[in-house]
Amino acid sequence: MTDQRLTVTFHGAAQTVTGSCMEFRSGSHAVLVDCGMFQGSRTLEALNHQECPFDPAGIDAIILTHAHIDHSGLLPKLVALGFKGEVWCTQETIDLLEHMLADSGRIHEFEAERRNRRRDRAGDEPFIPLYTEHQAMLAWERCRPITLQTWFEPGPGFRARLWNAGHILGAASVELKAAGTRVICSGDIGPSNKAFYADPEGPSGFDHVICEATYGNRERDKVTIEERRALLEAEVLAARARGGNLVIPIFALERTQELLLDLDTLIDQGRIPGTHVFVDSPLANRITGVFERYATELEDTGQHNIFDNTAFHFVTDVAESIRLNSIAGAVIMAASGMCEAGRIRHHLLSNLHRSRSTILFVGFQAQGTLGRVILEGARTVRISGNDVRVRAQIRQIDSYSAHADRDELADWIAARLPVAGSVFLDHGEPEAAEGLRRLLQARLPEQEVRLPVIGERYALPPGAKAKRETTGRQDLSLATGRDWQNAYADFATSLKARLSRMTDDAEREQALRALREVLDAHDARG
């Protein structure tokens, strides 16, 4: 007899903020909510290359909450492995994915080629890209649009509809019904008073709720859009007073367009006169074109095209990007937002060692990323094989976050009440998820709150608490934070400086000899 219960298995974004993927199964049919790529440390990224924990050909459909790669980036891999169903999402998400997935494919091809050229890999097996640009576009062709609040059937026995999540263009929460159980998956929830969109929406009265916890342990100051612009104005003017560039690591999707909205206003109001803004990200430029297509439907854009300011310079080719090394006093926005790839690394190489430069972070920095290392005060970092001293001013504005903070997440969950069964907190690092759990326990003492880990499967009965059926992968606990390669980079970049501070060569030789003895002893055991 076929098992008609509804179950959910967390394949990613549990105790970490990337790799979002949940498998909902009832009987012989299954639907995925999101299919995201793991991002961060090399150990975490390696999970993208592991064997798929389910049969892609056995998945009826995929529902995407939004276009960010940590929610959509493994679609091409699944299609290559045999997934033949449809990918349901908003039309805005489809338009964004055309560029996001293609760019991801190009990056994988480039990174594979770069690694294979490295001299220290001579003789090794060739590094194969996770997927190619062509495979990415085959996946994009499987996307089907669905409007908000419209019921559809993604697979036999499943009904679903999408609700505005207020996170980025086209972002949605997913309401799902199957086997008599009603569930809602938040996706990524935007903060209140977010530029461009109305506040998050959704119905109430569920059996189970699955909510993100990215900022589950943080309460941000409630800043209006005008107050946020004042903060940005102060950073631009302070950076100019130092005489150097203001370098902003950007996420091509959403953060770039929000910054351009505010910079356009500040320039038009004469508050940052003479400012030139260089957007050095081909992907961000293409995404901005999608935003222009929907400009009349967005809030806060006024009566003119905010992206057509003559002070904005959209950099296209590499040569133009390199020429930015010779300028000073400009605002340079470059991807990626966590400094893990893209042209931002080139600009960090050029500006981090300059005391007159300013690096301004305006987005979340996951554990193990270069951006997190810089933000936490590293004096030296390693970029593309180079040890770089951090002399630039390191600044942060966190009011640009596209994620709700602790209280806003708790409010979103409370608005879904009553919840007859369990609340799950995913898409958050351990401290963040635990922080939100404690707040919910204080506010809703009778409500069961669970913190799933990757690999756990739960039965989701109607009107009752969830039941864990499979334990998670405890071996992944180290992968979700800083890994040994982060520790190696920290050690390697500081080794020469620490040896130089020793009093004489004999002391240096003794230290190096001790290090060799530890490594030799390990080799002898192994």
* pLDDT per position as a tens digit, 47-74: 999 999 999 999 999 999 999 999 999 9
**One domain for residues 352 and 436:** no
**One domain for residues 69 and 133:** yes
What average pLDDT does this structure show over 329-348? 93
Total tally of structural domains belonging to the chain: 2
| 193, burial (CB in 10 Å: exposed 0-12, middle 13-18, buried 19+) | middle
**One domain for residues 129 and 65:** yes
Residue 474 confidence (pLDDT) above 70? no
Q: Are 116 and 172 in contact (CB under 8 A)?
A: no
Residue 475's pLDDT band (cuts 50, 70, 90)? low
60/120: higher pLDDT: 60
User: What is the DSSP secondary structure assignment for residue 232, as one 8-state letter?
Assistant: H
CA distance 272 to 452: 47
User: What is the DSSP secondary structure assignment for residue 36, as one 8-state letter?
Assistant: P
**One domain for residues 20 and 169:** yes
**One domain for residues 30 and 86:** yes
What average pLDDT does this structure show over 224-246? 96
Q: What is the largest CA-CA distance in the chain?
A: 78
pLDDT digits (tens, 9 = 90+) for 2-14: 568 999 999 999 9
**One domain for residues 25 and 151:** yes
| Max mean pLDDT range (120-124, 279-283, 304-308) | 279-283
What average pLDDT does this structure show over 365-380? 90
Say how many residues make up the chain.
526
429/114: higher pLDDT: 429
**One domain for residues 153 and 106:** yes
508/21: higher pLDDT: 21
**One domain for residues 396 and 424:** no
Sequence letter at residue 208: H
**One domain for residues 159 and 249:** no
| 504 in any annotated domain | no
Q: What is the pTM of this model?
A: 0.86
Show which of 400, 425, 446 is a domain's final residue: 400
Q: Are 362 and 262 in contact (CB under 8 A)?
A: no
Show which of 400, 425, 459 is a domain's final residue: 400
**One domain for residues 346 and 435:** no
Given this model, what pLDDT does residue 506 score?
Answer: 80
**One domain for residues 289 and 198:** no
Q: Which of 345, 426, 337 is nearest to 20 (CA)?
A: 426
| 481 in any annotated domain | no
* Least confident residue range of 33-47, 234-248, 346-360: 33-47
CATH of the domain at 310: 3.40.50.10890
Domain that holds residue 282: 225-400
CA distances from 259 to 165, 249, 328, 351, 510 (A): 20, 11, 20, 20, 52
199/192: higher pLDDT: 199
| 499 in any annotated domain | no
Structure tokens at 181: 């159980």
What average pLDDT does this structure show over 407-412? 98
DSSP for 438-467, written as a single string: HHHHHH-TTSEEE---TT-EEE--TTS--E
Structure tokens at 523: 């080799």
**One domain for residues 271 and 307:** yes
| 483 in any annotated domain | no
CA distance 310 to 306: 10
pLDDT digits (tens, 9 = 90+) for 419-440: 999 999 999 999 999 999 999 9
Please, where are the H alpha helices in 368-504? 370-375, 406-414, 430-443, 484-500
Given this model, what pLDDT does residue 303 score?
Answer: 65
